[in-house]
Amino acid sequence: MMPSIYHRWQQRLASLKDNLLNKLLLSKPKNVPASTPSQSYPTIGRYEIRAELGQRGNTMVYRGWDPKLGRDVAIRALLPSFSVTNDFYQRFQSEIKVIAALEHPSIVQVFDFGETDDHPFVVMPYLAGGTLERRLAEKTYTLRDMVPIIKRIASALDQAHQQGIIHGQVNPGNILFDGEDQAYLSDFGITQFTEATAGEGSQDAIQLQLDYISPEQAAALKAEDAIITDEKSDIYALGVTIFEALTGQLPYQASNRYEAALARITEPTPQLRSIKPNLPRTYQALIDRAMAKNPDDRYKTATHLAQHAEEIVSGRWYFEPITESLSTTSTSNPVDPSPDNLASPLTAEAGSVEKSIGRYHVQEELGRGAMGVVYRGYDPQTNRQVAIKVLPCVFSFAPEFRQNFQREAELVAKFNHEAVVRIYDFGEHQDQPHIVMQYLPGGTLADRIGKKLLDLRQTAKIIKRVAAALDEAHRRNIIHQDVKSANIMFNAAGEAFLSDFGIATILEQTGFSEDTAQQVGGTPTYMSPEQAEASLNKTPYQPDARSDIYSLGVIFFEALVGQAPYPNPTSYATLLAHITQPIPRLSEINPSLSPECQKIIDRVLAKNPAERYPSAGAFAHDVIELASGRMLLRRLTDDLVSLN
């Protein structure tokens, strides 16, 4: 090795040794002095700085507080000492807009970005669960424990790759966890911040992680050629991460990190059992393919890697080649980046609505109802499409509205769940309150049911996601109050999301009413008997999680037969039916449905709340058992036993 190359890399290793975010999270937070009546928190933009999480080079990460949405955030900012050129800022803006438009349940989202004193900053969710690297310092993982993490990270990588975005820095330090132990992938290629962090050095070197470098990247490094990052190098780095999680050490050991990086060019892939002899032999096939020296020999996608891992722990590892060949076109859920994620401002020729709501450009109306109008909009600051719900202006004149509206919006903004539509912003524009949310281009469940009956497996998948969101909300004492098929929406990949948390409560507390049903929040078709009774009698109603579960049961009924259980021409008749009429027989509408379907419906739509499922998850469990055939198999087995 040439001495000049070695010394240059020795100088850079200090900067590249550990990923920035991991180091920051490992650092003991340095608290900003507590505020006093005469002293307020320092701010970056609208965000209060509550603690310094750590400094690296010319960047600082803070734990911040968003007073507008009432939630903790992480703020990554350049220090004033760093000289920001116009070219630097232009490249930063270009990169951050692409990354902000990359929406995925397991990608750390960009909430906001801007500049303060001519220095850019980025605002992201604050994830309190730490990094995978910190966890690996305490213990190794089994592959079974790693599978949920691998699945989430692989799904995030594949969506990014489909949009032409390469992560380039996959490692345990960039895998974070929230308070519910869900894994997230962070630090998608904001190279301008990386440059500021690393200091002097070439662009290729800055983006390189020596511990997770692929053989082809190591060969380019040795030859002093340009380092190329692509989908296959991300998959290789994920393979190294899995190796490290299973064994507690990196695959290649050498006197320095440069030599370890070059070792992967010539040395064979290390054996897991040479480090941990108790690991199953079947694990090695996963590592051999993920870390293959030839990029063409690696998994086609990160999802294929995740599938193989899941099959290994389930004992089905020998089916992997068959599964891959069958799922090449169906598992990746290709996303068209231009209309759904990478938005572009509308032109006059596109027939756009010439109107703005705050900084958001209104593009088209998506729908309207008693709760207001929903528009598809464009946020020029983050270069992404958004959904803007504009509530009736009459609300602004109700004295108690602003307080209720802000409280509910803050409550929902804090509620971060992968199956709940995210809230980005809220406020008032020309006396009309509005909420800015994640835009989901896949339509609603109501649209899908209106076109055709859903397959039972499809329905079970939707119920499972929505039930998980409801259970988490109920755990936080948040009641939806308006669970209905029109409030279940889909992203471009077909994943279900529950929307409109808290809107019904705002309506109720404000006293707005289009009909008597609205006085307790909700929609008559989906109301529980106790909600319906309160509506008809105009009596106070205490929101209850079991009403949400009942409403989810109505959706299940609707998906099975294509109609609601109590279809009536008027709201009054529908409400009365929920209270007085018996639960409909599915066999009278669709004779092909099994008795097990009716048993589930009878329980979830029970008139007495105490007789319903104790949680949405318990209801979803039975629906999944039904869809898998296990429930029917148990009945047939019981019948055979009784015959004997």
Residue 16: what residue type?
A: L
Determine the Cα–Cα distance for residues 273 and 276; give it in Å rounded to an integer.
5
Tell me if 483 sits within 8 A of 509, measured CB to CB.
no
Cβ-based neighbours of 261, under 8 Å, separated by 6 or more? 210, 211, 213, 218, 221, 252
Please choose, from the candidates 267, 276, 203, 211, the residue with its C-alpha nearest in 3D space to the C-alpha of residue 239. Answer: 211
Residue 535: what residue type?
A: S
Tell me if 154 sits within 8 A of 303, measured CB to CB.
yes
**DSSP annotation of 369:** E
Rounded to the nearest 10 degrees, the angle between the axes of helix 401-414 and helix 503-510 is: 160
Per-residue tokens: 470: 């409801």
CA distances from 542 to 478, 527, 611 (A): 12, 13, 18
CA atoms within 13 A on the CB side of 184: 29
Cβ-based neighbours of 325, under 8 Å, separated by 6 or more? none
Determine the Cα–Cα distance for residues 591 and 587; give it in Å rounded to an integer.
4
Give me the helices (H) in 27-83, please: none
Determine the Cα–Cα distance for residues 638 and 623; give it in Å rounded to an integer.
19
Determine the Cα–Cα distance for residues 157 and 237; give it in Å rounded to an integer.
11
The DSSP bridge partners found for residue 31 are 51
Residue 124: what residue type?
A: M
Radius of gyration of the chain (CA): 27
Please choose, from the candidates 448, 610, 597, the residue with its C-alpha nearest in 3D space to the C-alpha of residue 544. Answer: 610
| Helix (H/G/I), strand (E/B), else coil: 152 | helix
Tell me if 363 sits within 8 A of 414, measured CB to CB.
no
Please choose, from the candidates 130, 25, 126, the residue with its C-alpha nearest in 3D space to the C-alpha of residue 66. Answer: 126
Query: What sign for the dihedral angle of Cα 548, 551, 552, 553?
Result: positive
Per-residue tokens: 439: 């835009």
Cβ-based neighbours of 356, under 8 Å, separated by 6 or more? 362
Q: Which is catalytic among the residues 211, 234, 482, 548?
A: 482
| Helix (H/G/I), strand (E/B), else coil: 638 | helix
Determine the Cα–Cα distance for residues 174 and 163; give it in Å rounded to an integer.
20
| Helix (H/G/I), strand (E/B), else coil: 383 | coil
Residue 84: what residue type?
A: V
Determine the Cα–Cα distance for residues 479 and 468; give it in Å rounded to an integer.
13
Per-residue tokens: 96: 């951050």
482 part of the active site: yes
Residue 385: what residue type?
A: Q
Residues identified as active-site: 482
